[in-house]
Copies of this chain bind each other. A is one copy, B any other.
Amino acid sequence: MDRRQQKTRQAVFDAFARLLERKNYTNITVQDIIDEANIGRSTFYAHFETKDELLKTLCSEIFDHVFAEEIYREKTHDFSKNGHNIKAEITHILYHLQESSRYIKRILSCESGEMFMRYFKERMTLVFDGELEKQKSDIPKEYMLNHMVCDFAETVRWWMKNDYYSPEEISRFFFSTTPFA
């Protein structure tokens, strides 16, 4: 990719993150981002169709990092029986989330958080989907899957506002209300 494009892209992400520190997502205009990133108006629109798409792209970049190993596992079909441990996996994801927490906190601080939560839940569905097969219960599987995904996502949202806990502690909190062995 052309250096100019990279530079512009990064300038926009940074400007956006900085703006999220002082303003609500809804109250940030495209013009604000353009001014903060110090780029031309048409340049922004050459990169992103809308402000929502910018947010979506930023979320994707974050998740590509957070779920890097899960993606690898999916691709290589490496679901090694003993190696695949849901508790270890969750703690692992929490560590990666912590690394991106500067971005995530800002995104979660306002309405943009809802889009983040939606995309995050999509990803987490893949993580929990297989895990639930193991459980037997008279509760509908679709209910349980939704429950686990929302539960974890809300745990993360809570953590980002109470960030003095370690990934291990958060993992413990999460599993304390969970039917997993």
Residues in A lying within 8 Å of B, measured CB to CB: 111, 114, 137, 139-140, 142-144, 146-147, 150-151, 154-155, 158, 162, 172-173, 176-179
Contact = CB atoms under 8 A, between A and B. Distances in A.
B143 A147 contact: no
B146 A154 contact: yes
A146 B158 contact: yes
B147 A177 contact: yes
A146 to B, nearest CB: 5
A140 B173 contact: yes
Nearest to A177: B147
A137 B176 CA distance: 10
A58 B75 CA distance: 47
A69 to B, nearest CB: 26
Counting from the closest, the 7 A-B pairs by CB-CB distance are A150-B154, A114-B114, A146-B158, A143-B173, A139-B176, A139-B173, A147-B177
A162 B142 CA distance: 10
Given A111-B114, A143-B162, 13 more contacts: A139-B173, A140-B173, A142-B162, A144-B177, A146-B154, A146-B158, A147-B155, A150-B154, A151-B151, A151-B154, A154-B154, A177-B177, A177-B179
Contacts of A151: 147, 150-151, 154
A154 to B, nearest CB: 4
The residue among A114, A142, A178 with the most chain B CB atoms within 10 A of its own CB is A114
Contacts of A146: 154, 158
